Amino acid sequence: MTTRKPAKKSAERASGLPYFSFRRLPGGAVLLSNDAGFTASLRAADFALFSAGRLAKGTPLHKELAAKGFVRDLTDFEGCAAACSKRNAFLGAGPGLHILVMTLRCNHKCLYCQSGALGAAGSRSDMSRAVARKSVDFALKSTNPGITIEFQGGEPLLNWDVLRDTVLYARRRGRDLGREVRLALVSNFSLMTEEKARFLLQNEVSICTSLDGPADLHNRNRTYAGGNSHAATVRWLKYFNDSAAKQVPEYRAFKPSALLTVTKYSLGREKEIINEYLRQGLSDIFVRPLAPIGYARKLWPQIGYTSAEFAAFYRSCLDYMIKLNAAGKKIRERNAVIMLEKIVNGSDPGYLDMRCPCGAAIGQLAYNYNGDLYTCDEGRMVGWEGDDLFRVGNVMKDSYRKVMLAPATRACASASNLELQPQCSRCAYKPFCGVCPVYNYETQGSLWGDMPSNERCALSMGVFDALFGLLAKPAGAKILKGWVTP
Amino acid sequence: MKPAKTETIVFSSALYSAEAVRLAAAVFEGRAAISLSKAAGGLRADVTGPENSAGDFANEALNQQCRLDLGLKNSRYASLLSTKALLSAAGDKPGRR
């Protein structure tokens, strides 16, 4: 007779610790996180006790950790599963964002442009009416119940007639099919007129533009041979803001939004930039880092910066915004809002760049002017540079299903899976983060990238460090949580 | 600019699979010339390229090996996530086929 030796209890089992990740934050606190998306911030001494399995039972901290799934024997598995499911609800959807590149032409020559824009003359790179309508039909095949069609470019207003027709067509098709269709326009406003603005408002097209800060900074980044880019931007921001403030019974007028692209010239000018946003009646500011893709890659020594420089800039922005909020002024940072939606509310804000797997094709599609389909707008840009790795089909030739299961779609879904990324799989920020296969490919030569030396990873870490650092302080936490709670 | 020089690294088969080193060589296409050959106890890589190429190549090989090891450990959960996302987007239900 053989006897079986009793299984040796692992140190992990003996200490009662479930699987978790941790990160030492600047300032000494230690952040814990788990796959359900729960987090806890511990003092270093408490973390030492916790990780040794010697945290006293019944204390408030022990109760908090137990409720969040950090004490194995007291873990509410159903609760954790429900939290996991809520956080990953996007896995059951499909592409919700459909970017239509109405033209490659643009009348601006921005330093950091990654859209592959051509000059304003000629129309060979304009999307035709047939391709635009086919693109709308294709988008409506998405399994996602609510879709957004975003008109981009180049400068989409350069192809106004087709844009106008596409808006009407999308509205009609949406009504016919009983589908929710949101329409959005990204424009530099330089070609906006009263007539166009009225049409966009009447058809409930939400408006987004770029605002890089005060006039001198904005115009330095966004070169416009035809005039003053900043002046056009603020003029139409006011128009759309006023329309949203008035509202009329016939349609919903949305508040306009603006995007900030941070270049080296922005560093040190945080307060001026934020004050400019407030001056223009904007209550959200999206502090977006520059990516070394497209023109920006060629000009990187002139306009680029390190992840540490961006992190310092970002932290200064947050500090100033918190100060303004404490003084009663309403302004929020969009990156923070997106992350806080995940961290505080445990829900999916629908941000396609920071999720697992990323939204390449399965969350968004970029429709080039000629009907070619790409995993995302960044993937389209790589195609513009002559490498069609991220092309997933063409609206005139390929079926929706074929596109969703195209080799590039599958490769991106696999490469952006954080469970298969060496550093990410154990990162405390994994539940809230995501990697970008296009960025990895452009900067490191493979879809997977190499996270320890990946600048986007370092940049995201900086943003998360800043957020969790502020969340650990009661005053900062109160304001930040207020950004995502009604 | 410093001229390209050749450095040699031997990747021990006790730590590195040939697949990981070959994947790293593929990633380095265009950045450095990588010549792989069999060596005692492993795989020999002759790396010709700009300064730090050999060190960077060794990092990439390590990255690839870690990725392969992780794939063995996490593949079931990782596949679940990717498959659900892909099939939901395509309009299928996971497990239908």
Read off the CATH number of the domain in which A279 is found: 3.20.20.70
Give the DSSP letter of residue A105.
Answer: B
What digits encode the pLDDT tens for the residues A360-411? 999 999 999 999 999 999 999 999 889 999 999 999 999 999 999 999 999 9
Please name the residue that has the structure tokens 């988008």: A139
Q: What is the pLDDT of residues A80-139, one digit of tens each?
A: 999 999 999 999 999 999 999 999 999 998 888 866 567 767 678 999 999 999 999 999
B91 has a chain A CB within 8 A of its CB:
yes
> A176 with A309, same domain?
yes
Regarding whether A266 and A161 lie in a shared domain, the answer is yes
- Chain A residue numbers touching B74 (CB-CB < 8 A): 419-420, 425
d(CA A350, CA A348) in angstroms, rounded, equals 5
Q: Does A345 touch chain B (CB under 8 A)?
A: no
pLDDT bucket at A273, cuts 50 / 70 / 90: very high
Q: Which residue of B has its CA nearest to A409?
A: B86
Q: Are both A14 and A127 inside the same structural domain? A: no
pLDDT band at A486 (very low <50, low <70, confident <90, very high): confident
The whole-number pLDDT of residue B1 equals 57
- pLDDT band of residue A203 (cuts 50, 70, 90) is very high
Distance separating alpha carbons of residues A27 and A286, to the nearest angstrom: 26
The residue out of A87, A121, A141 marking a domain boundary is A87
| Best to test chain B binding among A446, A447, A451, A453 (most B CBs inside 10 Å) | A446
In this structure, is the dihedral angle defined by the CA atoms of residues A162, A164, A167 and A173, taken in order, positive or negative? negative
The ipTM estimated for the assembled molecules is 0.90
Residue A8 in this model has a pLDDT that exceeds 80 = no
B97 within some domain:
no
> Residue A22 carries which side chain, given as an amino acid letter?
F
Kindly state whether residue A474 falls inside one of the protein's structural domains.
no
Q: What's the predicted TM-score (pTM) here?
A: 0.93
Residue A145 pLDDT greater than 50, yes or no = yes
Q: Does B61 reside within a domain?
A: yes
Residues A72 and A116 in one domain: no
- Per-residue pLDDT tens digits for A441-480: 999 999 999 999 999 999 999 999 999 999 988 999 999 9
Inspect the interface and report whether the beta carbons of A94 and B66 lie closer than 8 Å: no
Name residues of chain B where pLDDT drops below 70.
1-3, 93-97
DSSP designation for A390:
G
Please write the tens of the pLDDT for every residue from A305-314. Answer: 999 999 999 9
C-alpha distance from A171 to closest chain B C-alpha (Å)? 23
Spatial contact of A227 and A143, defined as CB atoms under 8 Å apart: no
pLDDT at A2 over 60: no
A357 vs A366: CA distance, rounded Å: 17
CA distance A299 to chain B (A): 20
Parallel/antiparallel/unpaired status of strands A146-152 and A180-186: parallel
Task: Classify residue B53: in a domain, yes or no.
Answer: yes
Q: What residues of chain A, 32 to 91, have a C-beta less than 8 Å from chain B?
A: 88, 90-91
Q: Is residue A103 part of a domain?
A: yes
In terms of domains, do A166 and A236 share one? yes
Asked if residue B39 is part of any domain, the answer here is yes
**Structural domain count, chain B:** 1
Q: How near does any CA of chain B get to the CA of A31, in Å?
A: 23
With respect to residue B96, please indicate whether it lies within any of the assigned structural domains: no
Q: Is it the case that residue A294 has pLDDT exceeding 80?
A: no
Listed in sequence order, the residues at least 6 apart from A29 whose beta carbon sits closer than 8 Å to its beta carbon are A41, A42, A43, A44, A472
Boundaries of domain holding B40:
5-88
- CB-CB neighbors (< 8 A) of A421 in chain B: 67, 70
Q: Which of A94, A401, A419 comes nearest B74 by C-beta? A: A419
The answer for B 33-72 residues in CB contact with A (under 8 A) is: 59-60, 63, 66-67, 70-71
Split at pLDDT 50, 70, 90, the class of A195 is very high
pLDDT digits (tens, 9 = 90+) for A368-377: 999 999 999 9
Are the CB atoms for A181 and A170 separated by under 8 Å? yes
Confirm or reject contact between B95 and chain A (CB < 8 A): no
Contact list, A142 vs chain B (CB under 8 Å)? 89
Assess whether A29 and A112 both reside in one domain: no
Same domain membership, residue A239 and residue A192: yes
Residues A205 and A249 in one domain: yes
With CA atoms as reference, the chain B residue closest to A416 would be B82
Return the structure tokens found at A53.
């399995």
CATH number of B56's domain: 3.30.1370
Q: How many domains does chain A have?
A: 2
Asked if residue B94 is part of any domain, the answer here is: no
Confidence at residue A1, expressed as pLDDT on a 0 to 100 scale: 44
Question: Smallest CA–CA separation between A370 and chain B, in Å?
Answer: 23
Mutation target to probe the A interface, by most A beta carbons within 10 A, among B19, B22, B27, B92 is B27
Q: Is A357 near chain B, with CB under 8 Å?
A: yes
Does the beta carbon of A97 lie under 8 angstroms from any beta carbon of chain B?
no
**Same structural domain, A128 and A237:** yes
B94 touches chain A (CB under 8 A): no
- Tell me, yes or no, whether A219 and A323 share the same domain: yes
A402, part of any domain:
no
Given an 8 Å threshold on Cβ–Cβ distance, is B78 in contact with A417? yes
Question: Stretch A149-167: mean pLDDT, rounded?
Answer: 97
Q: Which of B71, B77, B90 sits opposite A404 (nearest CB)?
A: B90
Do A293 and A149 share a domain, yes or no? yes
Q: Is A470 a member of any domain?
A: no
- Computed over every residue of chain A, the mean pLDDT equals 93
The answer to whether position A475 is within a domain reads: no
Residue B80 near chain A (CB below 8 Å): no
Which chain B residue's Cα is nearest to A447? Answer: B27
A187 assigned to some structural domain:
yes
DSSP letters of B42-94? Answer: EEEEEEEESTTHHHHHHHHHHHHHHHHHHHHHHHHHHHHHHHHHHHHHHT--T
Which of A87, A105, A130 delimits the end of a domain? A87
Tell me which of A339, A368, A384 is where a domain ends: A384
| Domain span at A179 | 94-384
pLDDT in tens, A54-83: 999 999 999 999 999 999 889 899 999 999
Q: Residues A171, A79: one domain?
A: no
Say whether pLDDT at A4 is over 60. Answer: no
Q: State residue A119's pLDDT score.
A: 72
Residue in A93, A143, A419 closest to B78 by CB: A419
A225 falls in which pLDDT band (50, 70, 90)?
A: confident
In a domain, B95, yes or no: no
Residue B77 lies in a domain: yes
Has residue A483 been placed in a domain?
A: no
CA-nearest residue of chain B to A361? Answer: B89
